[in-house]
Chains A and B, each alone.
Chain A
């Protein structure tokens, strides 16, 4: 493939592609990866900071020790008193011995290591980010795919055929635009129930509108070019002209548009989650994680930082990839060779 050869020459695009692939693999393989469950709560472990080396128990002990020392300092003592020391040794005992049962397995809970820390319910943030990525990436992809499929077909046909089809299709788009999409989504959710599939459908419902307008405009500006007339002269059918001759000419625009759309879908989902219309707890998405993180931003910055970082890296990769794709899909691109 020619486009692939050109894409390979673009280093940033390849970094982007690698990272996007990495993310996708991570999300796909989440169930078999050696990570904790995203929904198991250990209430003792709430708000543990990220640590690569220390177990949850050690962190817990340190924190308790620190609190007690601080308290002692406030009372003007330089050493802990007996009662406090006993409290600590009880805690140590508890940390060493306490077990919990998850999915039928007995686990020494305090031996867990939370590389990226925990959230307000003592759930592993790493697991939640990975599983959240699953939801967010698929929302981005589904939204984009439907946008491209429906938007491209409707937009291209409306632009090329014009007249009645154009008028009807574009009025439908206008009407859909006119309705606040939140209202649409709420109505949709109310009728069909709230679950992830319906969330996808909702986004699909509104995602294609802008793209179909963009495509229509592009097609209209191209449809009177001589090569289209040349194609008609050699007897190409309407479908052939639209999808074989015209659509490749606008793929660059579509590629850029869609890669810029993915972030907006992810953000849209987080907004829906915020309203309680998105993914339902304990399921997570990047949007909902960031939202949770914002609440405790000062005291527990990692809860905002890591989901935000994961999302930012992904969106950056996506944009670089999209940029590279646009150049690669255009045979006349300046960046070739």
Chain B
């Protein structure tokens, strides 16, 4: 069952038309997701991580957003050409999502039970009482104490961590094949973060759910993911298995990211590294490597053309002229 491809994203391009020009939020992103795999997508704020995921579920509101090219295949079926009905069945049932802010992603006017049961009734065709039973079970799985009582609470009666747990319960209640977790722990404090990640990890292993974990926290990714994609300015600049990524990062941006994580195991007197400069505006990016103004290895060719993907062993790939040149020469 492992290694069976369930989601393939091919050259996905999502652009936003704004008054200032076209924002290329996602530009030719491709990746695949296998059953049971956990894929991490890492990058700075505004590099297109969330937009990628919203595009996968076709939740980009258009206008202003538009998927300009590429396609998303779920079990070989194009998501972009699905009808509304097929999409509704896909969302929640096959692919579900956890949001960044548990404070605002539950409807404050509906009980937790209503929101959970609704999803189950909708997708699983369960009766109300069956769905309620299942919902209680899910809440117990995510570690909410006395779920029989708490299920009738309103979201404001839950703490942030509990709300995120409830969101996870909701997202996983229909046994989806893919769980997209969009920065699930940013709004939580560190101890709760660890618990939530543990729950996601445990449950997805138990249910054999593939996970796309979007985050800017490298620590989280290293603990959770099998594979990692690093995004910069709407493109995937490097992809590798977690081990390769941390032991042997190729792209200067990835190296910068890894160096800028504070480490407890290496005491140094140096200041913590940070990548100089700021991410470029995504409006009308010229045909160049968008990282070149911040890159200490920048060469002339970096300002002229975007590099092709260079293939190292074990599916480790990076887009950088540092390797492209030598490869071509060889």
Contacts and interface: CB of A to CB of B under 8 A. Distances in A.
A230 B122 contact: no
A244 B111 CA distance: 12
Interface stretch (A207-215, A231-239, A258-266, A313-321): A231-239
Centre residue among A226, A230, A234, A332 by max chain B CB count within 10 A: A234
A227 interface: yes
B104 A233 contact: no
B107 A234 contact: no
A276 interface: no
Interface string B88-125: 11111100110111001111111000000011001100
A235 B93 contact: yes
Given A226-B99, A248-B110, A249-B109, A233 B91 contact: yes
Contact of A233 (B59, B101, B118, B122): B59
A233 B109 contact: no
Category for how many chain A residues contact B: 20 to 34
A225 B104 contact: yes
A331 interface: yes
A235 B88 contact: yes
Given A331-B154, A332-B154, A233 B107 contact: no
Contact of A235 (B104, B123, B167): B123
Contacts of B122: 234-236
A248 B92 contact: no
Interface secondary structure of A, over-half rule: helix
B96 A233 contact: yes
Interface in A319-337: 330-332
B118 A230 contact: no
B108 A249 contact: yes
Contact of B104 (A226, A231, A249): A226
A293 to B, nearest CB: 45
A330 B110 CA distance: 10
Contacts of A332: 108, 154, 156
A248 B109 CA distance: 6
Contacts of B171: 233-234
11 contacts: A226-B99, A226-B101, A227-B107, A227-B108, A232-B91, A234-B91, A234-B92, A236-B118, A248-B110, A251-B109, A331-B156
Interface of B: 57, 59, 87-93, 96-97, 99-101, 104-110, 118-119, 122-123, 154, 156, 167, 170-171
Interface of A: 225-227, 229-237, 244-245, 248-249, 251, 330-332
Given A226-B105, A227-B104, A248-B107, 6 more contacts: A227-B107, A233-B96, A233-B97, A234-B96, A235-B90, A237-B88
> Which 4 A/B pairs are nearest by Cβ-Cβ distance?
A234-B92, A235-B92, A235-B91, A226-B105
